[in-house]
Structure 1
Amino acid sequence: MIKLIVGLGNPGKDYQTHRHNAGFWFVDSLATKFDVQFTAKSKFLGESSSITLGNKLTHLLKPKTFMNNSGGSIKSLANYYNIKSDEILVAHDELDLPIGTVKLKMSGGHGGHNGLRDTIKALDTNNFYRLRIGIGHPGTKDDVVDFVLSSPGISELKHIESSMNNAIEVVDSLANGDFEDAMLRLHTE
């Protein structure tokens, strides 16, 4: 059962359109769908809101500590509401998936993603769900930083938004603890 959905990204206008903010885009889309607003919460080092999924309260979080320091924000909210790591879904950009692909995963490594690395360190476990939002790969490792810190083209963005909309359709299953159903529905889209 998912009680916290976190979107990873970098705060501020300078970053809002960057591929690295795909996690923020996802939780913003959820907030829009459920007609809720984010509120800055200094005790959580971020902006939070909540929605009702499957008759259960689910918290939304956008850490405002920058990508590389996301873990402290996640830990703060999780501790405050007594949320276990396996009740957390972290939405993030994924270089290793083609644009327009979204995959669910439980646990695993950070794959070089600094937001995941810091989350694993702060929670002292890798036992949380991930929503991996495919942004494609620039082709060479040397180009990765510039790639994730730049905006996708209009066509790319449409594919990313479409994949996120597919993911939004399975969050009810996740909230109810039916990870297998959510994976099946999402991965066969």
Structure 2
Amino acid sequence: MGILLLKLVVGLGNPGKEYERTRHNIGFMVVEELARRQGVVFRKMFWFPARQAKCRIGEHEVRLVLPTTYMNRSGKAVWGAMKKWRAEAADTVVIYDDVDLEFGGIRVRAKGSGGSHNGMKSVLEWLQTKAFPRVRVGIGPKPDGADMIGFVLGGFAEEELLKLEKVVERAADAVETIFSVGTERTMNEFNQLQIG
């Protein structure tokens, strides 16, 4: 049996019951879906501020990570997880919500900026590199005149709730596909899809 290759999968979101089903926590939902598929449960970490679950996806040993730092300080937990398990940036997949992407859209990238997303800004600041794969999950568009913070921390609209499970499943599929065929091929497969 060969050596398992370690991967990290980090969902960005806010801890606590009040945030569970909010738009800003769709990254958490995707990582929780991956844990559900593998039949693993999350445990609190003592070395850095996160909950984690261990599983195997294909030939990879995977650590699923949910930071408990709150969104704007997510980078501390991502950096801590990478140090703890000696994971490279290229082997760390970050999943987060994107208000600039229509609800149901999924965009996979091998690297890039964090845009206006404060959680990703924190990750980039802590890691000092843009070269790590990420899966953006669309939660937009924000209605004209709506407060940004209120929108992302709000619950999904009724028509969005009907599609939410499918969106989360598709984003989880994208993460698994990154592990099986690589980021570039996953981009080709998922980036044109829109769950309507």
| 1:14-29 matched pairs, under 5 angstroms | 14-29=18-33
**How far 1:44 moved relative to its partner?**
2.3
Instruction: Indicate conservation of the 8 Å contact 1:102/1:164, yes or no.
Output: no
- How far apart are 1:141 and its partner, in Å? 7.1
Report the 3-state secondary structure (helix = DSSP H, G, I; strand = E; otherwise coil) of the residue aligned with 1:14: helix
Q: 1:111 to 1:188 in 2, by over 3 A?
A: closer
Which residue of the partner structure matches residue 170 of structure 2? 166
Amino acid at match of 2:31: V
Aligned length: 189
Decide which of 101, 104, 113 is 1:109's aligned counterpart.
113
Aligned to 2:125: 121
Which position in structure 2 is the counterpart of 1:136? 140
Percent same amino acid among aligned pairs?
31
Q: How many Å apart are 1:177 and its aligned residue?
A: 5.4
Which of 47, 60, 65 is the aligned partner of 1:61? Answer: 65
| Offset at residue 49 of structure 1 (A) | 0.7
Partner of 2:89: 85
Q: Which moved more, 1:1-10 or 1:146-155?
A: 1-10
For structure 2, the 5+ residue unaligned runs are none
1:155 paired residue number: 159
Cα distance, 1:163 vs structure 2: 2.1
Q: Secondary structure at the match of 2:31?
A: helix
Q: C-alpha displacement at 1:2, in angstroms?
A: 7.3
Distance 2:151 2:13 in 1: 14
* Secondary structure class of the residue paired with 1:115: helix
Distance 1:183 1:90 in 2: 15
1:43 aligns to what SS in structure 2? coil
The normalised TM-score by structure 1 is 0.93
Q: By how many angstroms is 1:104 displaced? A: 0.4
Distance in 2, matches of 1:14 and 1:60, equals 22
Cα contact 1:2–1:88 (8 A) shared by 2 = no
Q: Gapped runs of 5+ residues in structure 1? A: none
Q: CA deviation at 1:140?
A: 4.0
For the 8 Å contact 1:46–1:61, the answer to whether it is kept is: yes
Kept in 2: contact 1:8–1:62 (CA 8 A)? yes
The correspondence of residues 173-184 of structure 1 with structure 2, limited to 5 A, is 173-176=177-180, 178-184=182-188
Contact 1:2 1:89 in 2 (8 A): no
- Cα distance per residue 1:87-108 (max 9 Å; x no partner): 1111001001111111101221
Whether the aligned pair in 1 keeps the contact of 2:12 and 2:74 (CA below 8 Å) is yes
Cα 1:113–1:2 shift into 2, 3 Å? farther
Which residue identity does 1:81 align to in structure 2? W
